[in-house]
Structure 1
């Protein structure tokens, strides 16, 4: 890349993406462009759309079980998140998945209930997903995408007619790969690790056994098929997650014991799936 203008714009793009204008609950610097109410509206709209596209499970026992776990988790959230009504929906799908979005929406797929085998393992998943909302990871990801698109557009303009068509494609391709593997994917893995840590403390504070999070990821590893290498994945490897969750058990167990002393002992009955 011989053009000094291109070099400068690439440097500016990198600094812009690496910088942050907010701080996550764990003290990590974040890039956030969008107001919380806008994110809540987007989350509610996407959730409503999903309900029209994916069958909703109507089994009362299944829904009561998932709601029991989710309600115990959301009862431990900061005041601003408890003020909203959390909608919990069980989707009829073999996908091993769950999610939470801004606006107080939680979705759990029935396929997950075959892997998260008890209330504590399900709490580990829901705690993790709600932690994404608390840390405003969706806002951060959208902001990163906007910044990345702006950086690519700036470099495209700077290259202009000063490079051959082949050189132009090589430069843009290299920058695109740099953004993807150097920033976007690691950042997503950072989100997942942050949600794991926050979710572990959240489930423990709600009275769920935090050691269950470790067994959950052993179950996930057994159910996984052809998982990509961690370097090229948006999620940490199962082994990485298990290692970090194991190291975090001391603090989580202290929160769990405190919750037990406060009488927080969820009794969510597992239905037959």
Structure 2
């Protein structure tokens, strides 16, 4: 049983690679869009039904406008770089929800929510574009399916250990150590990697959409000023504000250079 579980684990990891077109790197993903997207779309619709969606306001219209520009820029980049049809099956949707939470999120397949609580931080359309680019990037890079894949591997590892260990006391110690170790050593770094990747991809596509990538670092300075005490980075799902500010500042010139390839020489 132990050998069978480990063999299954290895086979899944080896056969489940998909290339991220923006980085050129293989990713761990054994959940196809045809399986993930319908679940995500249904969950998104259920969320909207049970929350207060803001419609008809200038802010709601801005969220949709920015989202459409960012998604269009992403498609332009993909088509120009040899990935036509990559977005088949995506159903972009952008909604503003009346909630004081300082957050925005995107589900697989392009279903995006902004909370009104983040608007004082974004301040303007370019600030919204920073956040929108990041969220769209999560969808483009299949981060949701990758997290599902990593979670499945984490579960398989736990099952394999429990099957292999016969002694109850040792099994209990294993479960404690495995739970903490796999979370801090695997799942949290995996999540931080995704956040960093989304920051970089998002910066690039917001620039192609005509928004100034220099404003990304400024947004995170505002986020840092507004935020409370944060956990140490190694215990967080996200990079620290300082790490993000440093990264975004360093990447902005390359994002502008990429935008120039698409004829974008001035920014909003």
Whole-angstrom distance in 1 between the partners of 2:34 and 2:6: 33
For the structure 1 residues 212 and 82, does the alpha-carbon distance in structure 2 shift closer, same or farther, using more than 3 Å as the test? farther
Q: TM-score, normalised by structure 2?
A: 0.86
2:192 matched residue in structure 1? 189
Distance 1:219 1:10, change over 3 A: farther
1:13–1:148 contact (8 Å) kept in structure 2:
no
1:159 aligns with 2:165: yes
5+ residue gaps, structure 1: 267-273
Q: How many residues were matched structurally?
A: 257
Q: 1:166 to 1:130 in 2, by over 3 A?
A: same
Which digits, 9 at most, give the CA deviation of each residue in 1:184-228, with x for residues without a partner? 000000000000000000100100000010001001111211211
Structure 2 residue ranges without an equivalent (≥5): 76-83
Q: Which residue of the partner structure matches residue 54 of structure 1?
A: 51
CA distance, structure 2, for counterparts of residue 227 and residue 173 of structure 1? 25
Distance 2:219 2:74 in 1: 22
Structure 1 residue 63 corresponds to structure 2 residue 60: yes
Say yes or no: does 1:137 pair with 2:143: yes
- When residues 16 and 194 of structure 1 are mapped into structure 2, their CA distance, relative to the original with a 3 A threshold, is farther
Paired residues of 2:9 and 2:153 also in contact (CA < 8 A): no
1:21-76 C-alpha deviation (Å, 9 max, x unpaired): 22223133321111112111111111111112221113421211111111110111
Would you say 1:92 and 2:98 are equivalent positions? yes
Greater shift after overlay, 74-83 or 125-134?
A: 74-83
Aligned to 2:244: 241
Give the Å deviation of 1:82: 7.4
In structure 1, how many angstroms separate the alpha carbons of the residues matched to 2:12 and 2:250? Answer: 30
Query: What is the root-mean-square deviation in Å for CA atoms of aligned residues?
Result: 2.6
Task: Find the structure with the greater CA-based Rg.
Answer: 1
